[in-house]
Amino acid sequence: MSEKIIFAEKLEGFVKSLKDHVSTDDGQWTVRGFIDIFKNVYTISSDTKIVSKILEIHLFPKILKFAQDNGYKVVLAEHQNYYPDISFVKATDESVRFAVDFKTTYRTLQKPHLCNGFTLGSHGEYFENRTSTKNIQFPYSSYLGHFCLGIIYDRADGATIDETKSHNIDELQAITSVAKNFQFFVTEKWKIASDKGGSGNTANIGSINNITDIVAGRGMFSKLGEHWFDEYWMNYKKITVQDGKGGTKKISTLREFVEYKNGDVSLVVKKRNGEE
């Protein structure tokens, strides 16, 4: 059994315990706010970036124990924009490394089988040049696997959150949580990738957003394999072909790319955004 399979199985087993760590019996997030030295509690914002960062902090002691229990050292990203969030490095063999990124998003209100999606890292310099150390903790090719530790949740109704109000610590139980109904999963990032850039930054790889498919690792490349994922994103919008109308266009869909490379287009998994 390969080091990657062993690591993946252990990480999957570990992640199953995380929901209980962060949730009350009725599914609410146990974090209700932040406290000052006068024991005043301030409700946290429902902003996704804030929720994501606090979740990472909340989970980090568990992550550290998992690493220690399984013979890994934890190396955190030295800079905010570095990939990945955590590098797991085997204590007895530092050539054995795994990249793990926290990925947090929320279910959409109108269609709860869908989520807002993730960005899965850059397809720029360190992705194309696998020995580069630009914006990455260790060269991309030195990792044996690239994993997402994903967290999907429901956002609380905005009407129930008053960020302007402070509470006494005795009122802690009465404070509405900004997040609830957490769902944790682990998958290799290529298995949940789409063929479009992540929102807000076209240099990032986007994910699919059907939750069932995310948890099952049924992204657009899941039948083609990681090699096709790498090739496609290294060449994203770089290959010019005729458009059939006398002009040219850049290849920007997986189907076009597989056709161009004479691959089997039947292996392209279509994104499912409709009702389950």
pLDDT in tens, 160-197: 666 677 888 888 877 888 999 999 999 999 999 999 98
Domains of the chain: residue spans and CATH: 3-223 (3.40.600.10)
Q: What is the rounded distance in angstroms from the CA atom of residue 157 to the CA atom of residue 155?
A: 6
Buried b (16+ CB within 10 A) or exposed e, 179-214: bbbbebbbbbbbbbbbbbbbeeeeebbbbbbbbebb
The answer to whether the pTM exceeds 0.85 is yes
Is there a catalytic annotation at residue 101? yes
Six-digit token string for 153:
């949740």
Q: Which residues contact 201 (CB under 8 A, 6 or more apart)?
A: 119
CA 8 from chain centre, in angstroms, equals 15
Q: Which one has a higher pLDDT value, 110 or 228?
A: 228
Say what the pLDDT of residue 136 is.
Answer: 95
Q: What is the pLDDT of residues 107-123, one digit of tens each?
A: 998 888 999 888 999 99
Is there a catalytic annotation at residue 85? yes
Q: Torsion-angle region of residue 166: left (phi > 0), alpha (psi -120 to 50) or beta?
A: beta
What would the mean pLDDT of 85-89 be, rounded to a whole number? 96
Average pLDDT of the chain to the nearest whole number: 91
With a pLDDT cut of 90, the percent of the chain lying above it is: 67
Write down the catalytic residue from 101, 189, 195, 213: 101
- Peptide bond just before 61 cis, omega within 30 deg: no
What would the mean pLDDT of 33-55 be, rounded to a whole number? 87
What would the mean pLDDT of 136-148 be, rounded to a whole number? 97
Say what the pLDDT of residue 276 is.
Answer: 47
Is 36 a residue whose pLDDT tops 50? Answer: yes
What would the mean pLDDT of 119-131 be, rounded to a whole number? 93
Write down the catalytic residue from 103, 189, 191, 196: 103
Is there a catalytic annotation at residue 103? yes
Write down the catalytic residue from 4, 10, 62, 85: 85
